[in-house]
Amino acid sequence: MSDDLADYLDSIDAHLVDYLDQDRNISSAAVRHVRCYAIALVEGLVVPEHVHEDWPDFFPLVFAFVLAYGSSRLGHLARRAAIFEGAGDDPLTDDDRVFLATLIAELGELLSQRGEP
pLDDT reading at 16 higher than 90: no
pTM for the whole structure = 0.89
Q: Over the stretch 29-63, which tens digit does the pLDDT of each residue have? A: 999 999 999 999 999 999 898 998 999 999 999 99
Q: What percent of the chain has pLDDT over 90?
A: 68
Q: For residue 56, what pLDDT is reported? A: 92
Whole-angstrom distance between the N-terminal and C-terminal Cα of the chain? 24
Q: Is residue 107 part of a domain?
A: yes
Cα(75)–Cα(104) distance, integer angstroms: 14
Q: Is residue 100 part of a domain?
A: yes
Q: For residue 15, what pLDDT is reported? A: 84
For 25-59, letters b (16+ CB in 10 Å) and e give: bbeeebbebbbebbbbbbeeebbbeebbeeeebbb
Q: Is residue 11 part of a domain?
A: no
Structural domain harbouring 47: 28-113
User: Based on the structure, what is the number of domains in the chain?
Assistant: 1
